[in-house]
């Protein structure tokens, strides 16, 4: 939750901190792109490391410590754009440790039949951090200034990280007794289903991170509302995401454990329809409703892509494969969610954002359809064998 508190401060407070000449959509997108790219690379590298290491809690604590220091560093270095960019890169690399560590903890402490529910619970903590930030941060900025956003979130991450690191260090022997994993190795050949999942994640993260970076700014301009109101709508989007992660994880374990890709396909088609409606919506209340609905489906998809990766990954490379899908996602976000979407909005208007998201939803739907069809064929073969 605290990692997301720090991360969500970037699209809200950073534009207020940087000098006005760097405030247009295109130039601001370069900062967002660097953050997303290095976050994705760090997530992939740390996923490989986690397959070889049995200390996820210690690594998670260290992640929070470096995140806290980097976030505070933004307050000190924002006047120098080069140093600010380097600080954002360090922050992205530090945050890239977080989810691989959580993945390692989940796959070593849960069964495959219930992992989607646990994945949903863990994902909820991210949405809570984002919601709290989007709801509280504009008011904090209004009272204490933009610097306070980074200062407060950085201090919380720092103190929490120190606590977790010390706790994990003292319980090292206990954790070594629990985690019994087969000797890992890196498999050079990646099965075709994983590539389709990577392509689907690529499109999903264009939408997810596009909303993360641009929703508050674009809604403010499009609906002619204040930053506080646009941030509240984005907060409602995350509230929908909380329900989506919890419900999707449970529904997936109960009814779609043999073919989670089918549920992902249904969700993605629903996302496409939602963006068609949002493209014509000009009412704040209705936009809040559709934002919540899109959050429900998008964060539900995020849970499903992670669990599908666990289902189809080789047992010794689970963290690597999950992080590989994340790498595709954040490369997508660094190029398309940040730079390309910024250019499209700059030159074609705000409605282009929803049109762009609809196209991405359609492409991802095709990928999930292929995965779902493959799972259905495999399940049919298993049923025939059981009959004979």
Q: Where are the domains of the chain?
A: 1-170, 192-386
pLDDT class of 375 with cuts at 50, 70, 90: low
Model confidence over 271-304: pLDDT tens digits?
999 999 988 888 889 999 999 999 999 999 988 9
pLDDT at 379: 46
Task: Give me the pLDDT at residue 182, please.
Answer: 44
pLDDT score recorded for residue 366 = 95
Q: What is the pLDDT of residue 189?
A: 62
pLDDT at position 280 is 87
Q: Do domains 1-170 and 192-386 have the same CATH topology?
A: yes
| pLDDT at 170 (0 to 100) | 76
Q: Is pLDDT of 187 > 60?
A: no
Query: For domain 192-386, which architecture applies?
Result: Up-down Bundle (1.20)
Average pLDDT, the chain: 81
Any idea what DSSP says for residue 20? G
- State yes or no: pLDDT of 132 exceeds 50: yes
Residue with the larger pLDDT of the pair 22 and 195: 195
Would you give the distance in Å from CA 5 to the centre of its chain? 13
pTM comes to 0.75
How remote is the C-alpha of 143 from its chain's centroid?
A: 29
Give 1-170's CATH code, choosing from 3.40.50.720, 3.50.50.60, 1.20.1250.20, 3.90.180.10: 1.20.1250.20
**Residue 26, pLDDT score:** 66
Q: Which two tokens stand for residue 364?
A: 């991802």
Q: Which of 47-61, 117-131, 171-185, 366-380 has the lowest mean pLDDT?
A: 171-185
Find out whether 294 and 278 touch, Cβ atoms under 8 Å.
Answer: yes
Question: Phi/psi at 18 (nearest 5 deg)?
Answer: -80, 150
| pLDDT (0 to 100) of residue 272 | 94
How large a percentage of the chain has pLDDT more than 70? Answer: 86
CA angle 242–271–282, rounded 5-degree value? 90
- When mean pLDDT is compared over 167-176, 202-211, 269-278, the highest value belongs to 269-278
Per-residue pLDDT at 25 = 60
> Residue 77: pLDDT above 70?
yes
Q: What angle do CA 157, 56, 249 make, to 5 degrees?
A: 85
Q: Please give the average per-residue pLDDT across 125-144, as a whole number.
A: 76
Contact by Cβ (8 Å): 31, 17: no
pLDDT average, residue stretch 199-226: 85
The answer on pLDDT for 62 being more than 50 is yes
pLDDT the model gives residue 181: 43
Per DSSP, helices labelled H in the chain are: 2-17, 25-50, 56-77, 81-95, 98-107, 115-144, 146-170, 172-178, 192-222, 227-255, 260-278, 284-312, 318-332, 341-348, 351-387
If one counts every other C-beta atom within 10 angstroms of the C-beta of residue 206, the result is 26
309-349 pLDDT tens trace: 888 877 777 888 888 888 888 787 778 877 788 788 888 88
């Amino acid at each position: 939750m605290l990692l997301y508190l720090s991360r969500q401060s970037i699209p809200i407070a950073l534009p207020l901190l940087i000098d006005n000449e760097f405030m247009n959509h295109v130039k601001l997108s370069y900062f967002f792109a660097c953050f997303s790219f290095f976050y994705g690379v760090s997530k992939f590298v740390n996923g490989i490391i986690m397959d070889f290491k049995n200390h996820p809690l210690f690594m998670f604590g260290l992640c929070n410590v470096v995140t806290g220091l980097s976030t505070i560093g933004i307050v000190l270095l924002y006047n120098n754009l080069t140093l600010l960019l380097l600080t954002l890169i360090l922050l992205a690399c530090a945050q890239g440790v977080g989810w691989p560590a959580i993945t390692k903890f989940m796959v070593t402490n849960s069964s495959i039949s219930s992992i989607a529910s646990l994945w949903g619970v863990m994902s909820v903590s991210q949405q809570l951090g984002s919601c709290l930030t989007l709801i509280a941060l504009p008011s904090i900025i209004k009272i204490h200034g933009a610097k306070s956003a980074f200062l407060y979130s950085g201090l919380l991450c720092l103190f929490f990280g120190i606590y977790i690191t010390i706790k994990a260090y003292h319980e090292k022997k206990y954790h070594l007794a629990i985690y019994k994993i087969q000797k890992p190795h890196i498999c050079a050949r990646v099965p075709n289903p994983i590539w389709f999942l990577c392509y689907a994640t690529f499109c999903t993260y264009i939408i997810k991170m596009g909303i993360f970076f641009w929703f508050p700014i674009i809604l403010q301009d499009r609906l002619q509302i204040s930053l506080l109101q646009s941030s509240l709508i984005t907060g409602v989007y995350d509230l929908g995401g909380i329900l989506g992660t919890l419900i999707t994880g449970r529904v997936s374990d109960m009814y779609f454990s043999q073919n989670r890709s089918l549920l992902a396909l249904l969700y993605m088609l629903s996302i496409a329809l939602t963006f068609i409606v949002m493209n014509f919506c000009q009412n704040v209340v209705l936009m809040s409703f559709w934002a919540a609905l899109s959050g429900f489906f998008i964060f539900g998809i995020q849970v499903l892509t992670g669990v599908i990766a666990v289902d189809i990954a080789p047992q010794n490379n689970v963290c690597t494969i999950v992080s590989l899908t994340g790498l595709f996602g954040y490369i997508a976000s660094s190029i398309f969610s940040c730079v390309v979407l910024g250019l499209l909005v700059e030159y074609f208007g705000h409605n282009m954002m929803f049109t762009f998201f609809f196209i991405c939803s359609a492409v991802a739907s095709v990928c999930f359809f292929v995965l779902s069809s493959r799972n259905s064929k495999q399940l049919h073969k298993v049923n025939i064998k059981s009959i004979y």
